[in-house]
Chain A
Amino acid sequence: NAGVTQTPKFQVLKTGQSMTLQCAQDMNHEYMSWYRQDPGMGLRLIHYSVGAGITDQGEVPNGYNVSRSTTEDFPLRLLSAAPSQTSVYFCASSSLPYREGTEAFFGQGTRLTVV
């Protein structure tokens, strides 16, 4: 079972460069989201989607764009990388927005360093 697949696992960017973090799930989940993990901050929600064609902002959306053209894929774009975006990024998917009996499945993460 592939579950949630994130690529790449590691990336180093120069300030001002752009890139796309890929996320794909094979569980036919409607709900997908992106989090970033920083020391002492836990996981903070960047953007989320409740289905193809529908996205919305989370807690820390600035500097990031998302799109959801298919159920399976939810890429995260950094438009102009900044050192403050150095973090570990996690993609998650679930069958519904979190209700009893629902759990989110996470990818293995992308460690991004912006220099």
Chain B
Amino acid sequence: DQQVKQNSPSLSVQEGRISILNCDYTNSMFDYFLWYKKYPAEGPTFLISISSIKDKNEDGRFTVFLNKSAKHLSLHIVPSQPGDSAVYFCAASPSNMRFGAGTRLTVKP
């Protein structure tokens, strides 16, 4: 029973354009959401988070949007850079993190 779903296994965008990665969740008890980035042969690294009392959080080129009524969150990367090419995991938590399957982002020069 996957409580956190990332339905797009891959996404390809042109350098300089916007990347939008999506995530859906089913458990209404989730109150804290995180995005992690993972390069090959490395552990995931924290990117940005948002609590359920907010609907938007920004950190530089990265913005996370939360729509609680739709149980949906998205990560926007503007502008996208080739170094952003990685697998992005969405995670949700009331206490322990539950992860989505990940989306592989490729940013083409």
Contact = CB atoms under 8 A, between A and B. Distances in A.
Nearest to B45: A106
A100 B99 CA distance: 17
B109 interface: no
Contacts, number: 64
B60 interface: no
Interface stretch (A13-21, A38-46, A67-75): A38-46
Interface string B36-69: 1000011111100101000000000000000000
Contact of B46 (A43, A48, A104, A109): A104
B27 to A, nearest CB: 13
A29 B17 CA distance: 38
Contact of A100 (B32, B36, B42, B89): B32
Nearest to A48: B96
A43 B99 contact: yes
A65 B85 CA distance: 35
A42 B4 contact: yes
Interface string B1-39: 010101001000000000000000000000010101000
Contacts of B32: 98-100, 102
A45 B96 contact: yes
A51 interface: no
B25 to A, nearest CB: 12
Contacts of B93: 97-98
Chain B contact patch, size range:
20 to 34
A66 interface: no
A42 B36 CA distance: 11
B97 A42 contact: no
Contacts of B43: 4, 90, 92, 106-109
Nearest to A33: B96
B46 A98 contact: no
Contacts of A4: 43
Contacts of B41: 108-109
Contact of B96 (A41, A98, A101): A98
Given A43-B97, A99-B32, A104-B34, 6 more contacts: A42-B89, A43-B99, A97-B96, A99-B51, A101-B49, A106-B45
